[in-house]
């Protein structure tokens, strides 16, 4: 396998390729195959994009048919039949059954653009500047989103002050349980030095941040405070949404009504780019036509595959599988943790995002390496990469799931030096 | 044609659909066909994305083959065979013949992400904050890029101060000819209140800004000053690059050596998202692995189609066509301007980006509407939308080109009320 | 009394004159006399400036002698004999007995300039931007100090975003007791979104903020955290220092070692302007000559009177009086509060800064008005002006003290409508 | 002379004392006397404060009388008889004869506080953020004023980005003559990236910046543009005002009507601190009571001496002397420049602010040193301190003036190595 073109001509910013030093040639469902024929079980799924597997057959067929029929692949924000299909199906399958009334906004097809658009809208709608974001939150790499992202490993490269964000601890961080109440007290005190924000931006389940899970109660505290002080309540569901947790939204069933919901990653189904915000109509009305543009807003292939992906949510088949496979993941991680009680590892997650917090980034990296060498792709997350996050495609066959977990088990042992 | 789903469920931020009130169902080369069968000649090409036409057959075939072979559609920044093909071909076809030594950086696949990454790198490489950007420049919608974008129509929605940018007039704006020399004098004067910037960010040919063309001499002034004060020289070639002007880069033949070149739009060939910066190695070395990430960095379909697109640059066939068709566009616009000498219209452009500056946004909008009704898609640009910019696919058949110009001619007359 | 010149020709920004609608003609110790002959007992002392009374006779004599001898009244930061006297005496009387090793920095002679200079020095010394300041803190009106000031009543007029300050609750505010520990946890967590600050800026006793008193333990928490994370620890002792609390510094006896101490108000003794920072030598070394200048840095009259004022600290006579009179103030306020138990009033303070928190700004204003009409000057403070703060000159005669408290007692009754 | 207390206990930020290494003990009119008896002629006048000489006898007498009568030395912004005297006299002597209708605002008694207050008011009055300030401008050291100050020698110590200021070249800097017109063109162009500012802040005669003189025509360009775009026009007359140029205001006779005028330095007459803004009533109305406060706003001694100082402007005696002595200064500097034609020195100034631009800061420093050793105090200014600025008290006796110029002449020769 010739990696020299990358080493010579690709930017030194490249990252994942250093953890997975091979050249991938093809991929199918939960497996990627390298140019040398090695097959890897994929517990990373493109950082949470490939919920429905690599080269999902139904999506692939639809995309090929679309191409053959000369569908409109690129449309900016003009109307196309494929976008209409997507909008109607998303409305019928996702929104209406939940009694949700939202407008769909498409922007530059990356999660960070979705977040940027939502912050812009929140500031327009309120006439305020500051966004409340939380420790361990991840929201993207462009300047507006990066200001909301908490991890210093990303923030340190901004090159300019990251401003207009107020930082509170996430529920699971020290002080997180009382932070909302104390922040509320400060907002009600005209001598606190703080004024009401434009919005609260939060992940109900922090993925990159280390698989940290907020309770419904805490999220309601935020929503209530947002309502009380005239701020918007934004949930970034980019990584945890689209079925990952066993429901379409990670916050399904909590009775929440965010003003804006950010979606991307899994939304296009196939791994082609798309991003979308769901805006409450009263909030969305603050937009003027063309106020937030972007060249690649209208992606025919993503609409086509994304429309097929919505079929998974017309019944409970996939979601019940997610709950079942999630339990398998969870059980196995708890067994691993229990097998090494002196390590103080903890297991947490929801649905098919399950994680082993090893408390040691160097160790987790060794696990990642051992797993890779044995044919399993995993991606550490959290502070210093200490959390081993498992997010296989939701469609992973049981055999691959089991085999992947076996590899992980051994990789942990290898990394501990006990294998 | 049912437009109600858009009207009910799509965000009110949607824009182009208001100028083109129809639903497109298919597209081929320079034509788009609406659901009701109406065929439109496309002189807008997805805002400069579709240089090689809608559903370019060779690209389409390659993409279908890639899908059928279970190629790696989504890869983050791991190595894939398709990315390697793209990198090698870009290096061989574009860089080496020009004696250019650059590294390719892929980021979130939109132009704005490319610009954000380049500003971040410039700030890292220099330890400075400020970016010099120019009046009428367009660089994107996320907060870092928007700060560099000049048009108040976009800036007014930011909701926060847009900072860390120093603004100079573009060469063609009042004071533009002396601005670089005066700015240099200020930088050399320790009491000017100005300190050296991290970078100069400029379009050699401003597309959205109104088809404003910089001379090689002026661009060399900028490059020289950047070198002198230790700043980077960044050319945003997102809309004007990839063959639009009759050369691959809009600044080809000028003897310039930018430190970073931003590319996106036409790079993927087919209209699927991709963005890439070309970084000089000495600059690129300032990146740390993973310092600027993004979920959709590795887009297999865009690499596949983009690799095919590079075939157009292995010989001079397409580029000579561009020059010839560009002359046709230019001649016709000049005839139109000459036919209405009292209007004070001017014509300008390079290659197949040609424009009629009407000096009147409301008039240009009427032209756009009349053209649409007669089956031609055009997009105004510049301040208040007063400039009618023609950017058909480079591959447009001569008949469509002629027919489109005929429609334009009549639309101008209609808008003037003389038809 | 002719007030028309003020009403016609003084700015509408004027404030205290609206609460005290008279024209003062002379003043002596704790009394001010209006043009119409009315005598007022002064429990406000120029917002804490006139610790040693109006027209303190010893200072006045020294100032007259200085003027008659053609002393150097204005000296920028050249050396003068009067400045030398002041420096030597301050060192001998204040610093040495406390084992304090500090350098004295004179700047523009207002408290806000002292704070600005200290923030500048902290940022220089650490290479960091952010300052931790506290709710209810008051630090001045110029842009750098105003950013640290908490009260929205002042912040709202800035006209620009007030940046580079992190806000924590003061010890007595909700969450204040745990705020330092939680902030420490965040600083130790690289995914908290927070990075170490340049300095902590705190008043040991918040005067304008409502007479809020920090404990030694809490201040040590701050000092310890500052040391741990490489930040400076700055105490703003502008209003509470210079003997007000019964010691020279408001934090005397707490075992604290601030890196910078801000002084102003009472420092000049007579009410003429002066401001001074005490900088630890290792911190002060970060200054370059002339890095922070100011026209009125060297004020001969203030040095002369300020040198006389230091005589009050060569023995315990005044300070023991302060403790005794402070007890008188305190007892009387507690009697007043006890007499109206249903009001929920609280009394707090140290030394001769004692306060009645009425919880009701409108009521406190009525008390102020009734007191004025009966010949007593008091100034409400705290959020909405709900706290009646008593800060008479430390040298107030017992009779004036008693008489003033009698007036206050009646004014409270009047304001309650029970008089 | 014992300088050790300064060396041991004063901050290393001290500056002028390094150029004048002595200890001053007394001062009278244009002479300062050191502790060792050495007498110095003062051509620096406290950086432009002591327009009426050190220890001006009439002011001194008034101040002593005021002290003896227990006048109100410190009054915040309550009404006092001395403030009323000052306000009435300033109105009668300065404003009315010029047909000027302004309100007087007193703030923290330093020039930087005056500037800060004016920027705050401009932002309040317009709802805009940005202030246009000019190269070589000096406006103070606190954060808001420092952002407007141009000299990097001061800006570099801010420790935070200095924001919300747009920088244009002063009339005499490269591009200065066309800058206002070009900036106007940009403001009228909605794609320039620039929006209208809150205010233009300019010195009609830049003192610290190197004695740079604006023409009436250029200042009118600014005033006209301010009016056109709804911005305020602020003249900082802190150093050049109060009679220095031969008129009370440096812009007298130009037909200008600034919205705000900043005054300080010479206003108090004696060298005691005071600062004042003159606000047009329509602008001043934007203030709320107490919106900009400050402990030392009401300075009885400064009002008393400042009232006496106004006597100098009831007739033309002093101003005609200023014009005459200014001519003496000017002639002598021109002779000096003419005597060394190969040096390329230039002479410029107005009234009794005259300067020799040597183009060489190191040389000017040697002149300063040689002059000091021969008994003359001068202060270099401008970029790198290359401009020798002569600003003796306006009341300097002719003999001292001549003798001082003789010393300067020799010091120049000494510094050139030709003496």
- Give the model confidence (pLDDT) of D150-209 as tens digits: 999 999 999 999 999 999 999 999 999 999 999 999 999 999 999 999 999 999 999 999
The answer to whether residue D126 scores a pLDDT higher than 90 is: yes
Return the SS3 of C2.
coil
Residues 58-87 of C with CB under 8 A from D: 60, 63-64, 67-81, 83-84, 87
| Other CB atoms within 10 Å distance of the CB of residue D399 | 10
CA A139 to each of CA A110, A201, D392: distance values in angstroms, whole numbers, following the listed order? 11, 9, 62
Question: How does the average pLDDT of chain B come out, rounded?
Answer: 97
Neighbours of chain D (3+ CB pairs under 8 A): B, C
| pTM tops 0.95 | yes
Residues of A in contact with C135 (CB under 8 A): 186, 189, 191-194
Average pLDDT for B206-228: 98
Q: Which residues contact B172 (CB under 8 A, 6 or more apart)?
A: B136, B212, B213, B214
CA B100 to chain centre: 21
Closest Cα partner for B352 from B382, B320, B307, B375? B320
pLDDT at position D31: 98
Could you tell me if A266 lies within 8 Å of chain B, comparing CB atoms? no
pLDDT band at C4 (very low <50, low <70, confident <90, very high): very high
Which residue among B134, B155, B182 sits closest to D175, beta carbon to beta carbon?
B182
Residues 233-262 of B with CB under 8 A from A: none
pLDDT at position C418: 81
C-alpha–C-alpha distance, residues A261 and A235, integer Å? 5
Which residue among C24, C64, C299 sits closest to D67, beta carbon to beta carbon?
C64
Q: Which residue of A has its CA nearest to B275?
A: A296
pLDDT band at B418 (very low <50, low <70, confident <90, very high): confident
Average pLDDT for D120-124: 98
Could you tell me if B158 lies within 8 Å of chain D, comparing CB atoms? no
Q: Which residue of A has its CA nearest to C169?
A: A192
- DSSP 8-state assignment for residue B91: I
- Say if the Cβ atoms of A135 and C195 lie within 8 Å: no
Closest Cα partner for C41 from C55, C52, C31, C26? C31
**Per-residue pLDDT tens for A83-121?**
999 999 999 999 999 999 999 999 999 999 999 999 999
Query: Which residue carries 């580029």 as its tokens?
Result: B319
Average pLDDT for D247-275: 98
**Per-residue pLDDT tens for C405-414?**
999 999 999 9
Interface probe with B: pick from A50, A279, A296, most Cβ of B within 10 Å: A296
| C-beta separation of C263 from C118 below 8 A | no
C-alpha–C-alpha distance, residues B329 and B30, integer Å? 15
pLDDT at position D418: 81
**Per-residue pLDDT tens for D353-412?**
999 999 999 999 999 999 999 999 999 999 999 999 999 999 999 999 999 999 999 999
The answer to whether residue B358 scores a pLDDT higher than 70 is: yes
> Looking at CA atoms only, how far is residue D181 from chain C in angstroms?
27
> Looking at CA atoms only, how far is residue D383 from chain B in angstroms?
6
Q: What is the full DSSP assignment across B198-243?
A: SEEEE-SEETTTTSEE--HHHHHHHHHHHHHHT-EEEEE-TTTTTT
Q: Which residue of C has its CA nearest to D59?
A: C67
Which residue among C149, C167, C382 sits closest to A194, beta carbon to beta carbon?
C167
Which residue among B186, B383, B384 sits closest to D135, beta carbon to beta carbon?
B186
**Per-residue pLDDT tens for A247-285?**
999 999 999 999 999 999 999 999 999 999 999 999 999
CA C60 to each of CA C271, D73, D297: distance values in angstroms, whole numbers, following the listed order? 11, 11, 20
Sign of CA dihedral D402, D406, D412, D415: negative
- Of chain B, the percentage scoring pLDDT greater than 90 comes to 99
Tokens describing residue B379: 């997009």
Interface probe with A: pick from B49, B273, B289, B294, most Cβ of A within 10 Å: B273
The answer to whether residue D419 scores a pLDDT higher than 70 is: no
Q: Which residue of C has its CA nearest to D19?
A: C78
Domains of chain B, earliest start first: 4-56+316-416 (3.90.1150.10), 71-313 (3.40.640.10)
Which residue among A134, A155, A163 sits closest to C163, beta carbon to beta carbon?
A163
Return the SS3 of C115.
helix
- Say if the Cβ atoms of D27 and C70 lie within 8 Å: yes
Tokens describing residue A103: 């407008």
Residues of B in contact with A160 (CB under 8 A): 123, 129, 144, 163-164
Tokens describing residue B180: 């670089």
Which residue among A46, A48, A67 sits closest to B64, beta carbon to beta carbon?
A67
Closest Cα partner for A170 from C278, B53, D272, C191? C191
- Say if the Cβ atoms of C77 and D160 lie within 8 Å: no
Residues of D in contact with C78 (CB under 8 A): 16-17, 20, 22, 24
| C-beta separation of B312 from B148 below 8 A | no
> Looking at CA atoms only, how far is residue C36 from chain D in angstroms?
11
Could you tell me if D140 lies within 8 Å of chain B, comparing CB atoms? no
Average pLDDT for D37-46: 97
pLDDT at position A418: 81
| C-beta separation of D220 from D262 below 8 A | no
How many beta-carbon pairs below 8 A join chains A and B? Answer: 370
Three-state SS for chain B is: CCCHHHHHHECCCCCHHHHCCCEEEEEEECEEEECCCCEEEECCHHHHCCCCCECCHHHHHHHHHHHHCCCCCECCCCEEHHHHHHHHHHHHHHHHHHCCCCEEEECCCCHHHHHHHHHHHHHHHHCCCCEEEECCCCCCCCHHHHHHCCCHHHHCCCCCCCCCEEEECCCCCCCHHHHHHHHHHHHHCCCCCCCCCCEEEECCEECCCCCEECCHHHHHHHHHHHHHHCCEEEEECCCCCCCCCCCCCCCCCCCCCCCEEEECHHHHCCCCCCCEEEECHHHHCCCCCCCCCCCCCCEHHHHHHHHHHHHHHCCCHHHHHHHHHHHHHHHHHHHHHHHCHHHCCEEEEECCEEEEECCCHHHHHHHHHHHHHCCEECEEECHHHCEEEECCCCCCCHHHHHHHHHHHHHHHHHHHCCC
Question: How does the average pLDDT of chain C come out, rounded?
Answer: 97
| C-beta separation of C201 from C139 below 8 A | yes
Closest Cα partner for D408 from D352, D370, D382, D358? D370
pLDDT at position A419: 67
Which residue among A151, A191, A195 sits closest to C136, beta carbon to beta carbon?
A191
Which residue among A167, A191, A384 sits closest to C193, beta carbon to beta carbon?
A167
pLDDT band at A168 (very low <50, low <70, confident <90, very high): very high
| Other CB atoms within 10 Å distance of the CB of residue C329 | 26
Average pLDDT for C276-284: 98
Could you tell me if A151 lies within 8 Å of chain B, comparing CB atoms? no
Could you tell me if B188 lies within 8 Å of chain D, comparing CB atoms? no
Question: How does the average pLDDT of chain D come out, rounded?
Answer: 97
- DSSP 8-state assignment for residue A243: T
């Amino acid at each position: 396998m010739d990696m020299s073109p990358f080493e010579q001509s690709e930017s030194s910013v490249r990252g994942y390729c250093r953890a997975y030093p091979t050249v991938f040639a093809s991929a199918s469902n939960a497996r990627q195959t390298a140019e040398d024929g090695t097959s890897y079980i994929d517990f990373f799924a493109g950082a949470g994009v490939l919920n429905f597997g690599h080269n999902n057959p139904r999506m692939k067929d639809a995309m090929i048919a679309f191409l053959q029929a000369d569908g409109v692949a690129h449309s900016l924000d003009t109307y196309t039949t494929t976008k209409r299909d997507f909008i109607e199906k998303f409305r019928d399958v996702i929104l209406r059954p939940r009694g949700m009334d939202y407008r769909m906004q498409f922007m530059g097809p990356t999660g960070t653009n979705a977040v940027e658009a939502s912050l812009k809208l929140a500031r327009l709608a309120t006439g305020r500047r500051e966004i409340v974001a939380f420790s361990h939150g991840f929201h993207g790499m462009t300047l507006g989103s990066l200001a909301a992202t908490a991890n210093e490993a990303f923030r340190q490269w901004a090159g300019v002050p990251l401003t207009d964000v107020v930082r509170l601890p996430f529920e699971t961080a020290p002080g997180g349980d009382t932070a909302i109440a104390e922040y509320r007290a400060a907002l009600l005190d005209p001598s606190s030095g703080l004024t009401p924000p434009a919005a609260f931006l939060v992940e109900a389940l922090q993925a990159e941040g280390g698989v940290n899970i907020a309770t419904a109660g805490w999220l309601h505290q935020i929503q209530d405070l947002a309502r009380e002080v005239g701020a918007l309540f934004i949930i970034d569901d980019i990584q945890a949404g689209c079925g990952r947790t066993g429901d379409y939204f990670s916050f399904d069933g909590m009775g929440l009504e965010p003003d804006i919901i950010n979606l991307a990653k899994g939304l296009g189904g196939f791994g082609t780019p798309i991003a979308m915000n769901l805006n409450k109509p009263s909030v969305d009305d603050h937009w003027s036509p063309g106020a937030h543009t972007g060249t690649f807003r209208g992606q025919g292939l993503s609409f086509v595959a994304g429309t097929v992906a919505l079929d998974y949510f017309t019944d409970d088949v996939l979601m019940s599988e997610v709950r079942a496979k999630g339990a398998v993941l969870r059980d196995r991680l708890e067994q691993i943790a229990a097998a090494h009680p002196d390590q103080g590892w903890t297991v947490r997650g929801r649905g098919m995002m399950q994680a082993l917090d090893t408390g040691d980034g160097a160790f987790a990296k060794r696990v990642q390496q051992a797993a890779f060498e044995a044919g399993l792709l995993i991606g550490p997350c959290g502070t210093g990469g200490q959390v081993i996050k498992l997010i296989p495609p939701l469609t992973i066959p049981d055999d691959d799931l089991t085999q992947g977990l076996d590899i992980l088990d051994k990789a942990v042992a290898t990394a501990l030096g006990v294998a």
